[in-house]
Amino acid sequence: MAFCLLYKPVLQFCEIVVNEANFVRKCIGAESCQDDLWGKLVCTNFKVSFIAHNSLPRQCTHRLLGEHDIPLACVEQVVTVNDVKGKQKILGSNQKLKFNPTELILYCKDFRIIRFRFDEAGPESAKKVCLAIAHYSHPADPQLLFGFEYVGKRYHGSTGERVNGVDPGGGLQTPLFDCSSDWDREIKRTGASEWRVCTINQGYFISPSLPEFFVVPVSLADQDLKQYACCFYSQRIPLWCWNHSSGSALVRMSNISDPQQQRKVEQRISSAITKSHPLRSDVFKSDLDKNLPNIQDIQAALLKLRQICVIDSFEESEEKWLSSLESSRWMEYVRTFLRHAVEVVYMLESRHVSVILLEKEDRDLSCVISCLVQLMCDPHCRSLHSFQGLIQKEWVMAGHRFLDRCNHLKRNDKEESPVFLLFLDCVWQLWNQYPAAFEFTEVYLTVLGDSMWVPVFSTFLFNCPRQRAEHSRDFASSKSIHLGQDQALCFPPVWDWSQQFSLKDQTLFNNPLYVGKIATCVQNGTVKTFTHRRSKKNYSSTLRGLPSALRNGSLGPNDTLTRRNSLMLRLRSDLSQVREQQETPSERFVRDFFSRPVDLQGLLLPQLLPSHLSVWKLYFLRWVPEAQIPQGGPITAFHKLSVLTDEIEMLQNQLRQYQGAAGTPNNLHAEHSKMYFKATSTPHQSPAPPEYLSSSFPFSPVGNLCRPGILGTPLSKLLNGAKIWLSTETLANETI
């Protein structure tokens, strides 16, 4: 046992150990401690680390975090327990603890629940490490977030060498939309010729929450914009998001704070947008606040969902799972957002009008809807880099308050809300319905969600670009960092995935099914195109008899078909009238869409029947041991698909080699393959999925979910790897 003292935490370049305790036991799940791990519990300024003296192998290793590490930003609640005295306390920052803890439970924002026991540890050091964790997970100031140290250190080397691999935008193909050229490209790409990049907010002199560059109608001069700016909430001039191929624009706008000016300004803006439309079409305003749940609703839903997913005991929640899931309202909200996005798509796609997304602050719900609309309409956004660009454009640059919504400072719970996670869930639903249409995988979406809690990325650390600039300037001057050519500290964006994962692990993000531009790959063979089987003609909308006037304001929620009594409809001589009564034009639009074969490179609408949305199991249930399917789950199909795609890649390389001059040597393939699972050298037989695969892959429930409910179930057996199923009998015993 003594030699565990020799184990040292793996620290990042600028990471410092704050406190530590030895002889700590990490609970693996069972009440019996035989599977628990012994080791050292360490609190640094970045993470809570546990250094076990015999750890299990890990499939997917994180570059910033070890197997048992939890970033401080991921800790939601620190609970200390003394089970002898029967005491329990939730620790905040700078608090006192009147008893010696025997146990520490960390509730994490990513749904993990981790338990440490201090039976053998010194009582004082146990107490100290708990207090340190509580204190350091409640930073008083954003500049105490680890990202600042992490990035600040790169400017210290006297030779100007760059450490921590920060390379702003350099090797990245993801547009960050922090310069006017990215916006110019987007304008060109979408054919939005009547729109221009506006630079009046350079230096953030007009609006504190807008980016320095954004896009406005050409008919609005800078002078006008400056004048209108003061009417809007936080001086947020309406922002252009995207242009539909028909020329209709998607615009987001905050509320007009001055009621006297409202009409006039609204009219000016609308007419400018109309002028920018090739058909001079009308503008439709979609009021998001009226039609969508607010951020507190969303937060409440996630808390309830977390309760039933990981906190309630598995058996008890099993019985009422469906109705509890319903009463959490999470799925309902996911559906509401998707449905609203479909309504907006209908306006753009079928009515050919421009749409303004109206939200009080224009910094939460608009981000979700505008991204979803673009994902549904624009196949370009479904590639990995464009998807990242989309998040840059509609979330980071548009000023989604990541700092507040993540509640990194744990100051104001009212501002905390998982809007971004809800968005990821909506994307997952689309992905789940059209898996071949997206370049990325659900592992990618899950990891992206988790990255919110690794506080080193520019993406999730700030409320808006201006805040980033100010904080990094202040930090630089307070630490007398010489910024050189840079105007601000350059935080890596989360899109610099090499910060977190090896190239091999990053291949888990690549979807073997993705159709993308693959259709052109075989040039003169018989297989010419795979994607399009439908002629464009079928696209032409057959909408007839639309109501002449649009209702002003919000989209009505009454899109549900009448239920059973629809059988009782009286017959009319004119059947078409009856149908129109039953079905709104947007419903007809959706039904028309579903009556045609889908084009993965075209418009995608989600199926919105409540029966067709599922729980995002990989994200929400990955830590639940009872919910794990050993050697099963979608990953087994993914495995087979990856191998096939890898074979295809290999053949293409061979072809290139034969055909071309100076082809790459064949053995390079293995390194450059985009697939995580590779073709074997003996492809006579389809390889069976590896034994370690489970529905939780690449995550593992082992040691990550120690709630009271599962104590006593022989999880120990899960640890024995291949023999996992031994426990099924016992589990089954309890489910009945």
Report 394-423 residues binding other proteins (CB under 8 A): none
In terms of CB distance, is 412 or 733 closer to other proteins? 733
> Does a cis peptide bond (omega within 30 degrees of 0) precede residue 698?
yes
Q: Which stretch binds other proteins (CB under 8 A): 348-356, 416-424, 451-459, 665-673?
A: 665-673
Residue 376 as a binder of other proteins (CB under 8 A): the answer is no
**Which residues within the stretch 334-373 sit at the binding site for other proteins (CB under 8 A)?**
335
Three-class SS of 25-76: EECCCCCCHHHCEEEEEEEECCEEEEEECCCCCCCCCECCCCCCCEEHHHEE
686 binding other proteins? (CB under 8 A): yes
CB 295 within 8 A of CB 417: yes
Interacting positions 439-468 with other proteins (CB under 8 A): none
The binder of other proteins chosen from 571, 660, 661, 662 (CB under 8 A): 571
Our finding on whether 579 is near other proteins (CB under 8 A) is yes
When asked if residue 536 is in the footprint of other proteins (CB under 8 A), the reply is no
548 counts as binding other proteins under rule CB under 8 A: no
Interface segment toward other proteins; rule CB under 8 A; list 165-173, 264-272, 432-440, 475-483: 432-440
Nearer to other proteins, 392 or 628 (CB): 628
Binding piece for other proteins, criterion CB under 8 A, among 53-61, 193-201, 414-422, 679-687: 679-687
Q: Is 231 a binder of other proteins (CB under 8 A)?
A: no
Report the nearest approach of other proteins to the CB of residue 306 (Å): 14
Which range in 99-107, 108-116, 415-423, 662-670 contacts other proteins by CB under 8 A?
662-670
Which of these, 310, 249, 311, 317, lies nearest to 284 by C-alpha position?
249
Q: Does 84 engage in binding with other proteins (CB under 8 A)? A: no
Helices 330-349 and 295-306: crossing angle in degrees, nearest 10, is 140
561 lies in the site for other proteins, by CB under 8 A: yes
Question: For residue 659, what is the enclosing H or E element?
Answer: helix 634-659
Report yes or no: 68 and 26 within 8 Å, Cβ to Cβ. Answer: yes
Closer Cβ to other proteins, 267 or 728, answer by number: 728
- For residue 532, give every residue at least 6 positions away whose Cβ sits within 8 Å of its Cβ, in sequence order, or none: 519, 599, 601
Closer residue to other proteins, CB minimum distance, 64 or 604 = 604
Q: Does 681 bind other proteins (CB under 8 A)?
A: yes
Order of strands, edge to edge, in the sheet holding 75-82?
Answer: 70-71, 47-52, 37-44, 17-26, 113-117, 103-108, 75-82, 87-91
Cα angle, residue 381 at apex, residues 380 and 386 outer, rounded to 5°: 95
DSSP secondary structure, 591-637, as one string: HHHHHS---TTS-------GGG----HHHHSTT-GGG--BT-SHHHH
Among 61, 607, 711, 714, binds other proteins (CB under 8 A): 607
**CB 349 → other proteins: shortest distance, Å?**
18
Interface residue with other proteins, options 282, 318, 361, 470 (CB under 8 A): 318
Say how many CA atoms lie within 13 Å of 317 toward its Cβ.
Answer: 21
Q: Does 664 bind other proteins (CB under 8 A)?
A: no
Left (φ > 0), alpha (ψ -120 to 50) or beta: where does 208 sit?
A: alpha
Per rule CB under 8 A, is residue 144 in the interface with other proteins?
no
Q: Which residues contact 555 (CB under 8 A, 6 or more apart)?
A: 286, 291, 340, 343, 586
320 contributes a contact to other proteins by CB under 8 A: yes
- 575, 660, 661, 662: residue in contact with other proteins (rule CB under 8 A): 575
Separation CA 368–CA 338 (nearest Å):
9
* Residues in 624-653 that interact with other proteins by CB under 8 A: 624, 626-634, 636-637, 639-641, 644-645, 647-648, 650-652
According to CB under 8 A, which residues from 158 to 217 bind other proteins? none
Among 239, 621, 675, 706, binds other proteins (CB under 8 A): 621
Task: Tell me if 294 is assigned to a ligand binding site.
Answer: yes
Q: Choose the binding region for other proteins from 166-174, 344-352, 529-537, 704-712 (rule: CB under 8 A).
A: 529-537
| Residue 2 CB coordination number (10 Å) | 8
CB of 443 to other proteins, least distance (A): 16
Q: CA–CA separation, 479 vs 476, rounded Å? A: 5
Q: Counting contacts by CB under 8 A, is residue 726 touching other proteins? A: yes
158 or 526, CB closer to other proteins? Answer: 526
722 binds other proteins (CB under 8 A): no
Cβ–Cβ < 8 Å for 419, 408: no
Q: Which of 76, 28, 18 is nearest to 54 (CA)?
A: 28
> With binding defined as CB under 8 A, does residue 659 bind other proteins?
yes
Please list every residue from 461 through 520 that binds other proteins, using CB under 8 A: 512-513, 515
Smallest gap from residue 432 Cβ to other proteins (A): 10
**Range in contact with other proteins (rule: CB under 8 A) among 35-43, 163-171, 319-327, 488-496:** 319-327
610 binding other proteins? (CB under 8 A):
yes
Taking 3-state DSSP, the helix, strand and coil percentages for the chain, each rounded to the nearest 5, stand at 45, 10, 45
Site residues for other proteins, 286-315, by CB under 8 A, read 314
Binding residue for other proteins, selected from 608, 692, 711, 716, defined by CB under 8 A:
608
Pick one of 87, 321, 411, 469: the residue that binds other proteins (CB under 8 A). Answer: 321
- 4 belongs to the binding site for other proteins (CB under 8 A): no
According to the binding rule CB under 8 A, does residue 527 interact with other proteins? yes
Q: How far apart are CA 698 and CA 553, in angstroms?
A: 46
Inter-CA distances, 288 with 210, 299, 342, 394, Å: 19, 17, 13, 15
| 594 in contact with other proteins (CB under 8 A) | yes
At 690, which amino acid appears? P
Of the candidates 185, 414, 504, 534, which one interacts with other proteins according to CB under 8 A?
A: 534
400 residue type, one letter: H
The three-class DSSP label of residue 317 is: helix
Q: Secondary structure of 498-542 in the HEC alphabet?
A: HHCECHHHHHHHECCCCCCCHHHCCCCCCCCCCCCCCCHHHHCCC
Give me the least distance between CB of 421 and other proteins, in Å please.
19
Q: With left for phi above 0 and alpha for psi between -120 and 50, is residue 160 left, alpha or beta?
A: left
Instruction: Work out the number of other CB atoms within 10 angstroms of the CB of residue 122.
Output: 13
One of 412, 535, 552, 566 touching other proteins (CB under 8 A): 566
Query: CB 567 → other proteins: shortest distance, Å?
Result: 6
Q: How far apart are CA 672 and CA 448, in angstroms?
A: 23
Answer yes or no whether residue 9 interacts with other proteins by CB under 8 A: no
Q: Vertex 425, ends 421 and 426: CA angle to 5°?
A: 115
CB nearer other proteins, residue 245 or residue 582: 582
The set of residues, in sequence order, having a beta carbon less than 8 Å from that of 85 and lying 6+ positions away, is: 99
- The DSSP result for 432-449, as a single string, is HH-GGG-SB-HHHHHHHH
- Minimum Å gap between C-beta 353 and other proteins is 24
Q: Which range binds other proteins by CB under 8 A, 177-185, 366-374, 448-456, 677-685?
A: 677-685
Interface stretch with other proteins, choices 1-9, 26-34, 148-156, 666-674 (CB under 8 A): 666-674
As annotated, the binding site for substrate includes 294-295
As annotated, the binding site includes 294-295
